């Protein structure tokens, strides 16, 4: 895998660079290999525990970054959407093995899509009953799979998947040729087509070559497109169909947009909302809209006997207002699933919305077309995407946001671009080196916060905005992101010094603040050191986000955490009754089937131990009474 | 206005780095200085280089392993140097030379000999100007400054000689030499290990060599005088004897130190334990041991490696006889530090 990656990295510049730019690239390439070699020889002497795989991934991504910089600002660049697609193909081919590396299995909906594909290829049907019985023969590598709650069943014991069969159908030829890798290659092929279509679309919409070249790597090699193009999800094919539909509509070519829209709605039923929005935004006929709604329902009914699968018509009724607020601001700022923390480049696309009248028509059509879908996404309990890589439900919209970003590229601060690019590099290194960490349980923390929290045993997670488990940083985050977007969208380019200096200062201040004892402790969080306590509910509990609870302590178990001095309120539940100690004080809590609040006192700021001396108690959180 | 902005940026960088200091080594404590240097580097080359400041802060808080963190600082500065490979002006070159000399020589700050360092800085700037403010000129100036111990005072003659040669070369028609790539790589290499710049300066090959993984040792800690004849029992799995010299810094390469088993151990196989200290290096004639087993001590320009060498033991040996050479000067000794145990 590493040899292939090295060869790919050497071949990549040949696709797009030439003459002096190519020479300069290879000179830097040689220098970085030299320095990487020196480090490789030296580092074991310093720290034998260093993760060399991570080091290699970091090196490869840094080389990809160097290539991207050359593509963006180089003088001798052979630029065309086709070349961009070839470059993307090389990169995706390089990343796929990393995604299914040893000990890494496909996860979330992916194994189910693969099971359906296997069923199509091996049995010629959609019945998964025999697949579930013989999981050892599946290339999914998952023997723990079973039908999901509410999956459609047939009259003769057939067991169908809740997932639409169109994606498995698309993957079937690839799977038949190359198994799991063939299926992944099919998705990557859609990724390549997506890159080509998007770059062609940028050209069609009058975006300059310079802007397109700058946007291309951030779009094609950045999250979420890179991760979804190298895993088995319908999001990247959907994005491709969406772009094709938009291009077709802009060109008034029904032969392009109609099949593209059909492909989109067949991939996932939820994309019907996109299709309706798009048809409405483009002023197309209502008859087409009705047909677009009916076709996927019909296909699903024929395939599984249930037109709406696990969905219900009630889902289209309006939800309470606050859920829209949570979903909207969550997607805007959440540390685990928000755009700034998972795909910061697309903040530029959001900023473009503020320059609505000056944006390309395709951008406006795309945003309007996706609005209905986003409106229905916001109030859903899984607005963050559920058990999937980040921004799952918005991937199809990324080409549109990329177009928006490209349309205001000349107005962007170089400092903001540098910061966003650096963050993107970090996210890609993390996602490629540790693909399983692309999945994060919805607990109000994110990977970075957890990592630092564990390292310092201090609550770093509270500094990251969370709308999954709303915290104080959430609304501060909203303010910062809105300010950032408005500054970019409405004010002209500003120098790089201010934004970069500010980021440095924010990082340092954040670090300083995170080390201080907090005023709120969530007991399930990574910074809490537990001695025998058990997480509640279990980590992989379905829709875990909807449960309260944190850690269950039996007699003798304890928790240790940082906290400020003062009066606190402890939220806990106990069915047995419990006696526990916090610092020098002992408290008794009586059995009750409901959650109770207990006033406790922490004598001085610093590390505190909560110890259960008798009974058992499930502690949820503790808040300081201000 | 632009300069004021950069001064402000440097102040903010220094404050941010000061807040982020978490670890206790002199390099970590010098983080505010590193922040200022990165800002100056950005000011004189490309503004995007300022990204080094948040990345330095991130490395400080995210990498707990000391050596890896310090190496990460070096990587950040090396990228900052290789990255802006494009043309920069005369002020940029001078600024680059000043930043690098300060980075390589002024940490730890409490061991800086201010008068000598400022003199050296001035000579470095003059070398850059005389050689036509090219990247090659920066490399010559910085490497000259780096290898000048400045202790004792007369070693400051070295940069003066280099300056004289440069002036003479220019007077006799030497053209401006850019050598952009070679110079940048040389500068990036010395910057990569700036956290141990003293070792780069005084034992250049050390960081070129493959590092041995740290292995456990069975301590002996005996200083054997000339003519001493001692037999040590070899512990299980021991593969090498670690030895160094005491008061042998003035001996030249090849001078015999002792016989270990059948092998003759010479200067070059081991060296005086403290020969690489900045204060002793000028008077020393010892080279870096071929298979250096010394530990890195100190940081920045004060860093050095003790002169221990690894002497391979015959396979399966149960005991090893060490006979110290009779010709060693009075007061000299062979220090048998211990056996190194090979991992199973």
Encoded tokens for A588: 């008794």
From B186, B192, B130, select the one nearest B160 (Cα to Cα): B130
Q: Which of A27, A500, A510 to mutate to test the interface with B (most CBs of B within 10 A)?
A: A500
Q: Rounded to an integer, what distance in angstroms lies between the CA atom of residue B69 and that of residue A291?
A: 60
Alpha-helical regions (H) of A378-496: 398-407, 414-433, 447-456, 472-490
DSSP-assigned beta bridge partners for residue B336? B222, B243
Q: Is the dihedral of CA A42, A44, A47, A52 positive or negative?
A: positive
Under 8 Å CB pairs connecting chains A and B tally to: 129
Q: Rounded to an integer, what distance in angstroms lies between the CA atom of residue A510 and that of residue A460?
A: 8
Q: Rounded to an integer, what distance in angstroms lies between the CA atom of residue A441 and that of residue A382?
A: 12
Q: In this structure, are residues A60 and A94 in contact, taking their beta carbons and an 8 Å threshold?
A: yes
DSSP-assigned beta bridge partners for residue B246? B333
What are the b/e assignments for B282-294, b being 16+ CB within 10 Å?
eebebbbbebbbb
CA distances in angstroms from A124 to A119, A296, B11, B17, listed in the order given: 6, 20, 69, 63
The single-letter DSSP state of residue A164 is: -
Q: In this structure, are residues B159 and B205 in contact, taking their beta carbons and an 8 Å threshold?
A: no
**Touching check for B35 and chain A: CB below 8 Å?**
yes
Q: Rounded to an integer, what distance in angstroms lies between the CA atom of residue A482 and that of residue A137?
A: 50
Q: In this structure, are residues B13 and B64 in contact, taking their beta carbons and an 8 Å threshold?
A: no
**Cross-chain Cβ contact B22/A422 below 8 Å:** no
Q: Rounded to an integer, what distance in angstroms lies between the CA atom of residue A492 and that of residue A502?
A: 18
| Chain A residues with CB-CB distance to B71 below 8 A | 39, 42-43, 46
Q: Rounded to an integer, what distance in angstroms lies between the CA atom of residue A427 and that of residue A341?
A: 9
Q: Rounded to an integer, what distance in angstroms lies between the CA atom of residue A58 and that of residue A484?
A: 28
* pLDDT at A284 (0 to 100): 64
3-class DSSP state for residue A384? coil
ipTM score for this prediction: 0.90
Q: In this structure, are residues B294 and B199 in contact, taking their beta carbons and an 8 Å threshold?
A: no
3-class DSSP state for residue A223? coil
- What string of DSSP letters covers A26-42? HHHHHHHHHHHHHHHHH
Q: How many CB atoms lie within 10 A of CB A233?
A: 25
- Those residues whose C-beta lies under 8 Å from the C-beta of residue B264, and which sit 6 or more positions away, are B256, B258
Q: Rounded to an integer, what distance in angstroms lies between the CA atom of residue B50 and that of residue B36?
A: 10
| Chain B residues with CB-CB distance to A458 below 8 A | none
Q: Rounded to an integer, what distance in angstroms lies between the CA atom of residue B229 and that of residue A400?
A: 82
Domains assigned to chain A: 521-624 (2.60.120.260)
Interface of A with B (CB under 8 A): 24, 27-28, 31-32, 34-35, 38-39, 41-50, 414-415, 418-419, 422, 451-452, 455, 495-498, 500-505, 507-509, 511-512
pLDDT over 70 percentage in chain B: 98
| Chain A residues with CB-CB distance to B213 below 8 A | 44-45, 48
**Cross-chain Cβ contact A422/B61 below 8 Å:** no
Q: Rounded to an integer, what distance in angstroms lies between the CA atom of residue B162 and that of residue B71?
A: 30
Our CA-based measurement puts residue B186 at a distance from the nearest CA of chain A, in whole angstroms, of 10
Q: Is B222 exposed, middle or buried (0-12, 13-18, 19+ CB in 10 A)?
A: middle
Q: Rounded to an integer, what distance in angstroms lies between the CA atom of residue B7 and that of residue B14?
A: 11
DSSP-assigned beta bridge partners for residue A579? A588, A614
Q: Which of B16, B80, B83 to mutate to test the interface with A (most CBs of A within 10 A)?
A: B16
**Dihedrals φ, ψ of A581, to 5°?**
-120, 140
Task: Give pLDDT < 70 ranges for chain B.
Answer: 83-87, 344
Picking from A46, A497, A512, the nearest residue to B68 by CB comes out as: A46
Encoded tokens for A213: 């070249």
| Chain A residues with CB-CB distance to B68 below 8 A | 43, 46-47, 50
Q: Rounded to an integer, what distance in angstroms lies between the CA atom of residue A330 and that of residue B129?
A: 56
Encoded tokens for B257: 């130190």
3-class DSSP state for residue A578? strand
* pLDDT at A296 (0 to 100): 82
**Cross-chain Cβ contact A418/B211 below 8 Å:** no
Length of chain A: 626
**Dihedrals φ, ψ of A515, to 5°?**
-75, -15
Q: In this structure, are residues A417 and A501 in contact, taking their beta carbons and an 8 Å threshold?
A: no
3-class DSSP state for residue A97? helix
Print the SS3 string covering chain B.
CHHHHHHHHHHHHHHHHHHHCCCCCHHHHCHHHHHHHHHHHHHHCCHHHHHHHHHHHHHHHHCCCHHHHHHHHHHHHHHHHHCCCCCCCHHHHHHHHHHHHHHHHCCCHHHCCHHHHHHHHHHHHHHHHHCCCCHHHHHHHHHHHHHCCCCCHHHHHHHHHHHHHHHHHHHCCCCCCCCHHHHHHHHHHHHHCHHHHHHHHHCHHHHCCCCCCCCCEEEEEEEECCCCEEEEECCCCEEEEEEEEECCCCCCCCCEEEEECCEEEEECCECECCCCCHHHHCCCCCCCCCCECCCEECCHHHCEECCCEEEECCCCCCEEEEEECCCCCCCCEEEEEEEEECCC
* pLDDT at B86 (0 to 100): 65
Encoded tokens for A377: 């996404």
Our CA-based measurement puts residue A535 at a distance from the nearest CA of chain B, in whole angstroms, of 26
Q: Cis before residue B152, ω within 30 degrees of 0?
A: yes
**CA diameter of chain A:** 79
**Touching check for B182 and chain A: CB below 8 Å?**
no
Q: Rounded to an integer, what distance in angstroms lies between the CA atom of residue A243 and that of residue A257?
A: 9
Beta strands A558-563 and A529-531: pairing type?
Answer: antiparallel
Q: In this structure, are residues A407 and A207 in contact, taking their beta carbons and an 8 Å threshold?
A: yes
Picking from A48, A452, A496, the nearest residue to B47 by CB comes out as: A496
Domains assigned to chain B: 2-207 (no CATH), 217-341 (2.60.120)
Q: Is A564 exposed, middle or buried (0-12, 13-18, 19+ CB in 10 A)?
A: middle
Q: What is the dihedral of CA B230, B235, B236, B241, to 10 degrees?
A: -70
| Chain B residues with CB-CB distance to A415 below 8 A | 47-48, 50
Q: What angle do CA A24, A26, A31 make, to 5 degrees?
A: 100
* pLDDT at A143 (0 to 100): 87
Which contiguous run of DSSP H or E holds residue A58?
helix A52-73
**Cross-chain Cβ contact B47/A45 below 8 Å:** no
**Cross-chain Cβ contact A31/B82 below 8 Å:** yes
Our CA-based measurement puts residue B102 at a distance from the nearest CA of chain A, in whole angstroms, of 22
**Cross-chain Cβ contact A507/B188 below 8 Å:** no
**Cross-chain Cβ contact A496/B207 below 8 Å:** no
* pLDDT at B99 (0 to 100): 95
Encoded tokens for A310: 């696990």
Q: Rounded to an integer, what distance in angstroms lies between the CA atom of residue A93 and that of residue B144?
A: 47
**Cross-chain Cβ contact A46/B65 below 8 Å:** yes
Averaged pLDDT, groups of 10, chain A, 626 residues long:
86 93 91 90 75 90 94 93 97 94 84 95 92 90 86 86 93 96 96 97 95 97 96 97 95 89 92 89 74 82 75 79 93 94 95 92 94 94 90 96 95 88 95 93 92 95 93 93 84 72 92 94 94 89 80 94 95 93 92 93 93 94 90
Q: How many CB atoms lie within 10 A of CB A99?
A: 21
Alpha-helical regions (H) of A100-165: 110-118, 129-133
Q: How many CB atoms lie within 10 A of CB A616?
A: 17
Our CA-based measurement puts residue B167 at a distance from the nearest CA of chain A, in whole angstroms, of 31
The rounded Cα B27 to chain-centroid distance in angstroms is: 13
**Cross-chain Cβ contact B209/A41 below 8 Å:** yes
């Amino acid at each position: 895998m590493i040899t292939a990656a090295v060869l790919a990295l050497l071949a990549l510049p040949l696709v797009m660079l030439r003459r002096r730019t190519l020479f300069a690239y290879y000179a830097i390439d040689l220098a970085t290999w030299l320095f990487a070699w020196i480090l490789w020889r030296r580092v074991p002497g310093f720290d034998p525990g260093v993760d060399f795989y991570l080091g290699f991934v970091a090196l490869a991504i840094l080389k990809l970054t160097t290539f991207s910089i050359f593509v963006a600002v180089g003088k001798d660049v052979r630029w065309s959407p086709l070349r961009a697609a070839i470059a993307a193909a090389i990169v995706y081919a390089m990343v796929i093995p990393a995604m299914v590396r040893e000990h890494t299995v496909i996860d979330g909906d992916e194994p189910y899509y693969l099971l359906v594909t296997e069923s199509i290829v091996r049995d010629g049907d959609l019945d998964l009953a025999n697949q579930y019985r013989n999981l050892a023969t599946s290339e999914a590598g998952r023997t723990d799979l079973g039908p999901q709650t509410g999956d459609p069943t047939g009259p003769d014991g057939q067991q169908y998947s809740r997932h639409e069969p169109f994606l498995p159908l698309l993957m079937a030829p690839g799977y038949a040729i190359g198994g799991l890798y063939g299926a992944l290659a099919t998705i990557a092929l859609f990724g390549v087509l997506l890159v080509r279509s998007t770059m062609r679309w940028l050209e069609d919409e009058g975006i300059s070559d310079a802007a397109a070249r700058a946007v291309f790597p951030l779009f094609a090699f950045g999250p979420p497109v890179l991760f979804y193009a190298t895993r088995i999800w319908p999001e990247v094919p959907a994005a491709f169909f969406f772009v094709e539909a938009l291009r077709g509509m802009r060109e008034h070519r029904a032969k392009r947009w109609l099949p593209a829209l059909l492909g989109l709605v067949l991939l996932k039923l939820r994309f019907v909302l996109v299709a309706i929005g798009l048809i409405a935004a483009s002023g197309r006929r209502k008859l087409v809209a009705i047909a677009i709604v009916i076709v996927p329902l019909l296909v699903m009914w024929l395939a599984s006997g249930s037109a709406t699968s696990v969905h219900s018509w009630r889902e289209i009724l309006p939800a309470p207002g606050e859920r829209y607020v949570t979903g909207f601001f969550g997607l805007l700022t959440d540390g685990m699933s928000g755009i700034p923390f998972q795909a910061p480049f697309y903040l530029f696309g959001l900023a473009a919305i503020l320059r609505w009248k000056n944006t390309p028509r395709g951008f406006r059509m795309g945003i309007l077309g996706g609005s209905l879908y986003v409106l229905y996404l916001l109030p859903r309990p899984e607005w963050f995407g559920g058990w999937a890589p980040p921004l799952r439900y918005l991937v199809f919209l990324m080409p549109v946001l990329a177009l928006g970003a490209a349309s205001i590229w000349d107005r962007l601060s170089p400092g903001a671009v540098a910061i966003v690019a650096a963050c993107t590099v970090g996210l890609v290194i993390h996602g490629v080196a540790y693909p399983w960490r692309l999945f994060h349980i919805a607990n109000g923390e994110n990977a970075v916060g957890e990592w630092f929290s564990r390292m310092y045993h201090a609550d770093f997670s509270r500094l990251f905005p969370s709308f999954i488990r709303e915290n104080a940083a959430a609304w501060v985050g909203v303010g910062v992101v809105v300010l950032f977007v408005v500054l970019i969208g409405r004010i002209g380019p500003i120098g790089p010094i201010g934004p970069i200096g500010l980021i440095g200062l924010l990082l340092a201040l954040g670090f300083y603040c995170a080390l201080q004892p907090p005023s709120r402790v969530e007991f399930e969080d990574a910074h809490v050191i537990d001695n025998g306590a058990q997480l509640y509910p279990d980590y992989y509990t379905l829709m875990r986000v909807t449960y309260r609870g944190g850690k269950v302590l039996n007699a003798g178990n304890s928790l240790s955490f940082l906290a400020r001095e003062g009066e606190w309120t402890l939220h806990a539940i106990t069915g047995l009754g419990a006696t526990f100690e916090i610092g020098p004080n002992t408290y008794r809590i009586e059995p009750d089937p409901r959650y109770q609040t207990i006033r406790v006192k922490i004598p001085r700021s610093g590390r505190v131990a909560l110890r259960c001396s008798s009974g058992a108690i499930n502690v949820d959180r503790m808040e300081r009474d201000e | 206005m632009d300069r004021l902005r950069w001064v402000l940026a440097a102040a903010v960088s220094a404050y941010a780095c000061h807040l982020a200091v978490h670890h206790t080594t002199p390099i970590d404590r010098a983080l505010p200085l590193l922040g200022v240097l990165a800002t100056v580097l950005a000011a004189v080359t490309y503004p995007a280089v300022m990204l080094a400041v948040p990345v330095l802060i991130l490395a400080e808080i995210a990498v707990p392993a000391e050596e890896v963190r310090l190496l990460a600082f070096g990587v950040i500065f090396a990228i900052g140097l290789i990255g802006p490979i494009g043309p920069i002006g005369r002020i940029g070159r001078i600024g680059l030379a000043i930043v690098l000399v300060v980075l390589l020589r002024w940490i730890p700050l409490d061991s800086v000999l201010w008068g000598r360092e400022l003199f050296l800085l001035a000579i470095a700037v003059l070398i850059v100007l005389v050689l036509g403010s090219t990247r090659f000129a920066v490399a010559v100036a910085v490497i000259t400054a780096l290898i000048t111990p400045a202790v004792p005072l007369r070693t400051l003659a070295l940069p003066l000689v280099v300056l004289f040669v440069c002036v003479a070369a220019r007077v006799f028609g030497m053209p401006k030499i850019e050598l952009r790539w070679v110079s940048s790589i040389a500068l990036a290499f010395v910057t990569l290990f700036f956290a141990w710049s003293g070792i780069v300066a005084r034992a250049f090959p050390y960081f070129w060599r493959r590092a041995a993984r740290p292995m456990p040792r069975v301590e002996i800690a005996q200083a054997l005088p000339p003519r001493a004849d001692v037999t040590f029992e070899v512990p299980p799995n021991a593969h090498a004897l670690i030895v160094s010299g005491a008061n042998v810094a003035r001996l030249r390469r090849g001078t015999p130190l002792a016989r270990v088993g059948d092998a003759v151990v010479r200067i070059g196989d081991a060296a005086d334990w403290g020969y690489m200290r900045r204060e002793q290096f000028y008077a020393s004639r010892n080279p870096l041991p071929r298979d250096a087993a010394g530990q890195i001590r100190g940081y920045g320009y004060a860093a050095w490696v003790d002169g221990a060498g690894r002497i391979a033991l015959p396979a399966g040996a149960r005991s090893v006889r060490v006979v110290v050479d009779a010709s060693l000067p009075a007061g000299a000794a062979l220090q048998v530090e211990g056996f190194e145990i090979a991992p199973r």
